[in-house]
Structure 1
């Protein structure tokens, strides 16, 4: 079965609601999942698992494949931190230093992939 994809128009609208402080739980979940989807599409691979519980997780970044069990490279954070990092309103190093990110493994540094390009350019 093919994985469902969040349409850009829905993902972008949810991100804007979060940024404007008007998001409900569903909008936050959609924003998180859409930004994870964008990361997975831009940094294709499966050497790092990025988790934002309870909303979602993706495998991304080229490198050694991971297929079963706990992956050797894991990054985990809450929704607020992920949205801020992915949209460029927070820096990776600051969030890591403050303890808002749990990162393990030699490849668990997402700084070169952040922020993600989530906003389509209007024609």
Structure 2
């Protein structure tokens, strides 16, 4: 993940595989921090998870959905861009009463090996 963040901090787009790995690592960490199945977080084309405790969704379109692009997800998940700013700018879409994930952020507290 460090390589993706380094590239973004330089204003560059990370290589596709680096970005994919960062997105998936951050989604995995979110699912660990917020276990459950009431919110679906979608970051196409790299991944989607269900998280946050509450009523489980089983059929059709989930009532609580967060969706964004990979770069925005990495920036928001690591708090380089605030949740509110990404929502306001339309880079992040969140529908449903459980979709504010700010209490679980930042994700990806990286160490020297990341």
TM-score by length of 2: 0.87
1:29 counterpart = 2:1:
no
Q: How does 1:41-56 map to 2 (within 5 A)?
A: 41-56=32-47
* Structure 1 residue runs of 4 or more that deviate by more than 6 Å after TM superposition: none
Question: Unaligned 5+ residue runs, structure 1?
Answer: 1-14
Aligned-CA RMSD value: 1.7
Question: Unaligned 5+ residue runs, structure 2?
Answer: none
Structure 1: how far apart are the matches of 2:51 and 2:112?
24
1:57 counterpart = 2:48:
yes
**DSSP-derived class of the 2:73 partner:** helix
1:116 match = 107
**DSSP-derived class of the 1:20 partner:** helix
Contact persistence 1:73–1:107 (CA under 8 A) = yes
